[in-house]
């Protein structure tokens, strides 16, 4: 289970550095940072953050002025209280699970759980409510408290792919003109779509979020549903569009143009 505290951003940086050391190499990492790549024996000489260093980061973890108890158990902001999830399910604040009851964890911890399957995170879960106020967190129709897109729990539910619209084939979806309501619409972060300046899906590593996270190109929690460029379903057919990429787009998809809603707003 996630233990929310003020050190989480620092710990993530330390975990990321250890990952880079393991995959890129000490010499390369040292060159990027201006160091010599480690000590005399070739081991990484960087010290993990101390408690004092973590205290300097306080305030980055929790949205202001949310307490740790509120972050864990709610209440969430009004915009989420009875909102619909990315899978279309409505949130009922009286029918929520505690995080402790659903093995709630950050993705890095969830991968150690036998119940977790690669690529699954809140950002591609049917129950997730994506960031609506730019604070970097969302909510859930099944679990109480603030929820990050990169989290996971045992309530995870697959997003079904929308049916192919009448008169089209599955192959048409990638390049087809989207319905008029999307052509110059604004994304969920307020960016207007320009039909003449769109990227082909073939050029942006387009694919389903779960697969792209499991295989490596996408980070935990990244999906079209959590992307600033996504234009959600406007006509009830289950498909959306994108301010940067052509064709029909589903919430469970992902591409290399992914951008955080919080960073774009």
What is the per-residue pLDDT across 64-116, written as a single tens digit (0 to 9) for each?
Answer: 889 999 999 999 999 999 999 999 999 999 999 999 999 999 999 999 999 99
What pLDDT was estimated at residue 84? 96
CA 188 from centroid of its chain's CA atoms: 14
Beta bridge partners, 238, equal: none
- Tokens found for residue 99: 């995080």
Is the separation of the CB atoms in 222 and 213 below 8 Å? yes
Q: How far apart are CA 208 and CA 219, in angstroms?
A: 13
> Using one digit for the tens of pLDDT, what is the confidence trace for 194-212?
999 899 999 999 999 999 9
3-state secondary structure of 2: coil
Q: How far apart are CA 176 and CA 169, in angstroms?
A: 10
Q: How far apart are CA 85 and CA 219, in angstroms?
A: 21
- Tokens found for residue 174: 């990638």
Helix (H) or strand (E) holding 128: strand 128-129
> Using one digit for the tens of pLDDT, what is the confidence trace for 240-252?
999 999 999 999 9
Percent of the chain with pLDDT over 90: 72
Q: How far apart are CA 177 and CA 257, in angstroms?
A: 19
Q: Report, in this order, helix, strand and coil percent for the chain, each rounded to 5.
A: 30, 10, 60
Q: How far apart are CA 250 and CA 262, in angstroms?
A: 20
What pLDDT was estimated at residue 47? 55
Is the separation of the CB atoms in 224 and 199 below 8 Å? no
Beta bridge partners, 90, equal: 84
* Global model pTM greater than 0.85: no
Lowest mean pLDDT segment, chosen from 51-60, 81-90, 119-128, 179-188: 51-60
pLDDT over 80 at 39, yes or no: no
Q: How far apart are CA 87 and CA 92, in angstroms?
A: 15
CA 249 from centroid of its chain's CA atoms: 16
What CA–CA distances, in Å, run from 18 to 6, 24, 255?
Answer: 20, 10, 26
- Tokens found for residue 43: 């081991």
Is the separation of the CB atoms in 181 and 234 below 8 Å? yes
Q: Which domains does the chain have, with CATH numbers?
A: 1-61 (no CATH), 63-159 (4.10.490.10), 170-264 (4.10.490.10)
Span between the terminal Cα atoms of the chain, in Å? 30
3-state secondary structure of 129: strand
């Amino acid at each position: 289970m996630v233990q929310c505290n003020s050190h989480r951003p620092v710990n993530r940086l330390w975990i990321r550095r250890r990952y880079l050391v393991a995959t890129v190499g000490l010499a390369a990492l040292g060159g990027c940072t201006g160091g010599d790549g480690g000590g005399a024996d070739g081991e990484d000489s960087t010290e993990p953050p101390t408690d004092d260093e973590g205290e300097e980061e306080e305030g980055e973890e929790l949205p202001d002025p949310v307490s740790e108890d509120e972050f864990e158990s709610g209440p969430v902001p009004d915009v989420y209280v009875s909102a619909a999830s990315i899978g279309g399910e409505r949130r009922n604040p009286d029918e929520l699970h505690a995080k402790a009851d659903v093995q709630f964890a950050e993705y890095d911890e969830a991968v150690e759980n036998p119940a977790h399957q690669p690529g699954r995170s809140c950002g591609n879960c049917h129950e997730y409510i994506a960031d609506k106020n730019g604070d970097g967190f969302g909510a859930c129709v099944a679990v109480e408290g603030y929820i990050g897109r990169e989290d996971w729990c045992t309530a995870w539910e697959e997003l079904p792919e929308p049916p192919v619209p009448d008169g089209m084939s599955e192959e048409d979806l990638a390049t087809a003109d989207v319905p008029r309501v999307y052509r110059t619409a604004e994304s969920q972060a307020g960016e207007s779509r320009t039909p003449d300046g769109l990227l082909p899906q073939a050029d942006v590593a387009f694919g389903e979020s779960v697969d792209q996270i499991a295989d490596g190109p996408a980070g935990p929690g990244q999906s079209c549903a959590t992307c600033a460029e996504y234009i959600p379903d406007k006509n009830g057919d289950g498909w959306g569009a994108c301010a940067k990429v052509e064709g029909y787009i589903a919430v469970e998809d992902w591409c290399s143009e992914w951008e955080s809603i919080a960073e774009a707003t």
